[in-house]
Amino acid sequence: MAERTVTVDGVPYPCGEGTRLGELLARIGALPMPCGGHGRCGKCRVCVTGDVLPPDDHEKKLLGAAETAAGIRLACRVTVTGDCAVTVPREAGDARIRTDGTLPDLTPDPAFFRVGAAVDIGTTTLAARLLGRNGEILAETSRLNPQSAWGADVITRMEAALAGHAGELASSVREAVNGMILSLTREAGLPDGAADGAVVTGNTAMLSLMTETDTEPLTHAPFLAARLFGETVPASSLGFGSLSPDASVYFPPCAGAFVGADMMCSLLASDIPHRSGTRLLTDIGTNGEMILSHQGRLLAASTAAGPAFEGAGISMGMGGRGGAIDRVRAEDGRLSARVIGGGEPVGICGSGIVDAVAALLEIGALDETGYLENDPAPIAGPVSLTQDDIRMVQLAKSAIHAGLRTLLRTVGAGCEEVEELAVAGGFGSYLDIGNAGAIGLLPAELLTKVRILGNAALSGASMLLLSVPLRGEIEVLARRTETVSLAANPTFAEEYMERMLF
C-alpha cells in the first residue's frame, strides 16, 4: 500500500492507503471503537478533511444530513485514500484512569537490579508504573487499550482473533506497553533500556490476546483456558525493546477462564487471604469479577456485566475524560451535574450514570421497575438517559449484585456475616457508594463495610515485581481458588431476576 499521512489534531502519522481511519485512531490511543468498528454505536465521530472515500448510505443514516454536511464522519467507516486531517472531539480526549492503589507492607526482594515496570492490561485501559529497588514509585502512566479498535469487550475481541486478527491484537497492545515503559524511563530521567524486569497482569483473555495464545476455548462451554500463566518469559519474545536485552517478564497466574491474573493480583494487594472472617472482593467493570474468603476457602466467580459502567453501550456514555458528567445529585426535585474539566457536558461516564439513575429514582422520574416517566430523561445540557440506557444499567447492576449474593449462598452465608467488601478497579474508585446501594448495584447491607482499593491489580503486580517470594504465594492462591460457574446456576438466575428492580 502507498504510504499516506493522516494528521490527527495537528500531529502527523504515517498510514497505508486503504486503511480504515478508526484502526489508526484506536492504535494511537486517540479514539476507542466501542462496537469494534462495525458502525453500530455511532460513537467514533470525528471531523475529517482531505482524501478519504465519501460516506455510504449506512453512515449517512447514522449521522444525519446536518452532521454529514459539516464534515463529521464515523472514523470506523472512513477509508483513507490520500493525505487527510482529523480533529477528534473533546469527549475523546485524555481519559481519567486510576493508577494509584494501596500496598501492604512487604520486605523488598526485587526481581530486577536497576528499575522494574509493573503493567495492568485492562479491557478498557492500560496502566503502568516504574519502581525502584526499595519500592519507590519513579513514574506512572496510563492510556486507553488500543485493542478497542476491535471492540469494547473481550468477547468481540476474541471473535476478531478467531477471524484472523490475532496477530494485530497482540502487536497493538505490545506496542502500547512498550511505548509506556519507554516513556516511564525517560520521565524518570533514565536511559532507554534501563528497566530490567517487568510484571504484566490482566484478565485471562487479555493476557491470552497479548501473547497470541488461542482464545477459542474461552468462547464456548465448558470455558476452559488454554493457558493459565504464572510463568516468566524473555522480554525479547514480546518485542519489548524498552526493557534491557536480558530482562524477563512475569505473567501472574489466573484462577480460571474468567477469573484472571488481575483479580489474583487484587486479592494479593487486598491482604484478604491473611485476614480472618468472611470477606468479599470485587472489581466492577466490563467483566464483574468477585472472590469470597470464608472459613479458609476462596471462591471466585465472574459475570458479564457489559460495558455500561465503562460508558460504552449507553447512548451518551463515554469514558471518564473532559466533558463527561461524573457526578449527579438531586436538589429540590431537579438534577445538578458536575462535568470533568468544567463547561458544557458532552456525555456521561460510569460514576455519573450510577449517580444519575439514583437521582432519577429520588425525584420520581424513574420507578422501581426501571420505567422512565419521560424518555429520554434530561440530565444536564444536551446529555440525557434513554429507556434503553436504563435497561442496560439494570442488566449490569443485577449481574454484579446477584453474583455477590450467589457466592455467599454457595457457602451458606449471608450479608450479615460479611466483615468487609473490598472494591478494586478504576470505576469502583470513583463510585459513590451510597448511590451504588440506592440503585442496587451493591447490597445495601454491605455499604458500611466497603473498602476502596484503587487499582489493586497494578498494586499486586508491583508487589510481585518487588518481592520474588510473593510469586510462589500468588500461585498457591490461584490453585486454592475454587471457581463457581454462574452460567447455569439456579441460585444466580433467581438472584439475577430479583435484583433487576431498583
Task: Measure the CA–CA gap between 59 and 310, rounded to whole angstroms.
Answer: 25
SS3 233: strand
Task: Measure the CA–CA gap between 269 and 265, rounded to whole angstroms.
Answer: 6
CATH number for the 3-88 domain, one of 2.40.30.20, 3.50.50.60, 3.10.20.30, 3.20.20.70? 3.10.20.30
Listing DSSP states for 169-186 in one string gives HHHHHHHHHHHHHHHHHH
**Residue that the C-alpha cell 462451554 belongs to:** 221
Q: What is the residue-level pLDDT of the chain in tens, covering all 502 positions?
A: 688 999 988 888 899 999 999 888 877 767 777 666 677 777 788 999 999 999 999 888 888 888 888 888 999 999 999 999 998 875 444 544 555 556 667 888 999 999 999 999 998 889 999 999 999 999 999 888 888 878 878 888 999 999 999 999 999 999 999 999 999 999 999 999 999 999 999 999 999 999 999 999 999 888 889 999 999 999 999 999 999 999 999 999 999 998 999 999 999 999 999 999 999 999 987 778 999 999 999 999 998 776 677 766 788 888 777 888 999 999 999 999 999 988 889 889 889 999 999 999 999 999 999 999 999 999 999 999 999 999 999 999 999 999 999 999 999 999 999 999 999 987 777 889 999 999 999 999 999 999 999 899 999 999 999 999 999 999 999 999 999 999 889 999 999 999 999 9
What was the pLDDT predicted at 150?
Answer: 84
**Residue that the C-alpha cell 487484587 belongs to:** 266
Burial (CB count within 10 angstroms: exposed 0-12, middle 13-18, buried 19+), residue 329: middle
Nearest to 458 by CA among 228, 275, 268: 268
Measured between its terminal Cα atoms, the distance across the chain in Å is 54
What was the pLDDT predicted at 197?
Answer: 97
User: Cell numbers of 332, please?
Assistant: 429540590
What was the pLDDT predicted at 102?
Answer: 61
∠ Cα 128 134 138 (to 5°): 35
What was the pLDDT predicted at 30?
Answer: 75
Cβ atoms < 10 Å from Cβ of 107 = 9
Going from N- to C-terminal start, the domains of the chain cover 3-88, 115-260
SS3 282: strand
φ, ψ at 101 (rounded to 5°): -175, 160
| Domain 115-260 bears CATH identifier 3.50.50.60 | no
**Residue that the C-alpha cell 469487550 belongs to:** 153
pTM confidence score: 0.83
Nearest to 125 by CA among 188, 181, 177, 185: 177
